[in-house]
Amino acid sequence: MTTARHNKIAHHLRQAGLGSLADLGFVGVDDTGQADDDPVIITGRRATRNHRLTDAEKEANRLLNRERAAVEHGFANLKNWRILTKLRMNSRHATTLLRSLLVLANTEVQR
């Protein structure tokens, strides 16, 4: 979270017109004074002692986690293959290569 704030990740995402899904560890990174209806980093809802999650908030958390899970599994595969430690090329080509590897990995997992 410190690195995300220091490097102004939310600001850069907003400038690029992008968004991000994040886990509960990133709650508060997107505190840029923007309206709550236009977040750039979407996190789940956190329950506290005084605030139990409603059924709708629980369902929203489940949907968010379902979307994040596919990405997390993809990164786990890339880490297992150790491809990121050996990658020494232009970032544009690396992005294309990584996308291709994720498609192949997801195709294999879905078999």
- From CA 98, how far away is CA 15, in angstroms rounded? 24
Q: What is the pLDDT of residues 3-14, one digit of tens each?
A: 888 888 888 888
Q: Which two tokens stand for residue 23?
A: 């886990």
* Degrees to nearest 5, angle at CA 109 with 59 and 26: 40
Q: What percent of the chain has pLDDT over 90?
A: 18
Q: What is the pLDDT of residues 20-54, one digit of tens each?
A: 888 888 888 887 655 566 788 888 899 999 999 99
Whether residue 60 has pLDDT greater than 80: yes
Lowest mean pLDDT, pick from 9-18, 42-51, 75-84, 102-111: 102-111
Whether residue 74 has pLDDT greater than 80: no
Q: Is residue 21 packed enough to be buried (19+ CB in 10 Å), middle (13-18) or exposed (0-12)?
A: middle
